[in-house]
């Protein structure tokens, strides 16, 4: 992975790349399952209609409000963002795993617009597809596109959500999990 290019893409959308973080005890693939949880698990959402001309601005405001209120951001506005990198035993470019990038939110940011356009937080401007975690794993945040809207979903205390724990338990030791993913999963389940 070209870390200089990644750092520039992040900077272009208002994120300062501070390096990769392995061994966090927070499995990115589990954090990517927020939208599989329901309100009974503590999930809260904010959505904006796809056809709303101000969807990027509204979705950015919603993301920031949820990120701030949920505790995603540290006092110095740092959090973890999942990025796809080639697996250690990759056979081709499609063989990737999610790992955490430590990032800092700068004053001039655009998660839902420029971040998506750059491929850092989505696939195209206004089409989010991101997974984030607080540094201590106390909250997961996922951005996604639904049938007629885009938005942000927040899940506090994810280590207490039984459906996530069940998936994590079933994933340990599977051939599609790397050693690093297994270590993070076991640490997360021990919380």
Quick one: pLDDT at residue 1?
60
Kindly provide the residue ranges of all beta strands, DSSP E only, lying in the chain, ordered along the sequence: 15-21, 44-49, 78-86, 96-105, 122-124, 127-128, 130-133, 139-145, 149-156
Please check whether residue 128 is in contact with residue 48, taking contact to mean a CB–CB distance below 8 angstroms. no
Quick one: pLDDT at residue 93?
67
Q: Which residues of the chain have pLDDT under 70?
A: 1, 90, 93
The per-residue pLDDT for range 68-91, each reduced to its tens digit, is 999 999 999 999 999 988 777 767
Task: Annotate 106-139 with b (16+ C-beta within 10 A) or e (fewer).
Answer: eeebbbbbbbbbbebbbeebbbbbbbbbbbebbb
Q: Which two tokens stand for residue 118?
A: 């750059």
Q: What is the DSSP letter of 38?
A: -
Quick one: pLDDT at residue 77?
98
The per-residue pLDDT for range 19-49, each reduced to its tens digit, is 999 999 999 999 999 999 999 999 999 999 9
Other C-beta atoms lying within 10 Å of the C-beta of residue 174 = 10
Quick one: pLDDT at residue 90?
65
Other C-beta atoms lying within 10 Å of the C-beta of residue 90 = 12
Quick one: pLDDT at residue 59?
98
Computed on alpha carbons and rounded to an integer, the radius of gyration of the chain in Å comes to 16
Other C-beta atoms lying within 10 Å of the C-beta of residue 178 = 14
């Amino acid at each position: 992975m070209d870390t200089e290019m990644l750092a520039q893409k992040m900077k272009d959308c208002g994120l300062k790349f501070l390096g990769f973080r392995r061994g966090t005890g927070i499995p990115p693939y589990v954090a990517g399952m927020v939208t599989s949880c329901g309100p009974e698990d503590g999930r809260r959402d904010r959505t904006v209609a796809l056809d709303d001309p101000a969807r990027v601005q509204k979705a950015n405001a919603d993301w920031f409000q949820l990120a701030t209120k949920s505790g995603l951001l540290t006092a110095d506005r740092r959090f973890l963002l999942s990025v796809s990198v080639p697996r250690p035993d990759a056979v081709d470019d499609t063989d990737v795993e999610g790992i955490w990038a430590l990032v800092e939110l700068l004053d001039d940011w655009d998660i839902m617009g420029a971040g998506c356009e750059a491929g850092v937080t989505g696939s195209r401007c206004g089409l989010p597809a991101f997974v984030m975690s607080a540094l201590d794993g106390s909250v997961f945040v996922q951005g996604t596109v639904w049938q007629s809207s885009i938005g942000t979903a927040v899940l506090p205390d994810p280590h207490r959500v039984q459906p996530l724990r069940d998936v994590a338990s079933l994933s340990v030791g599977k051939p599609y999990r790397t050693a690093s993913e297994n270590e993070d999963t076991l640490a997360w389940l021990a919380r």
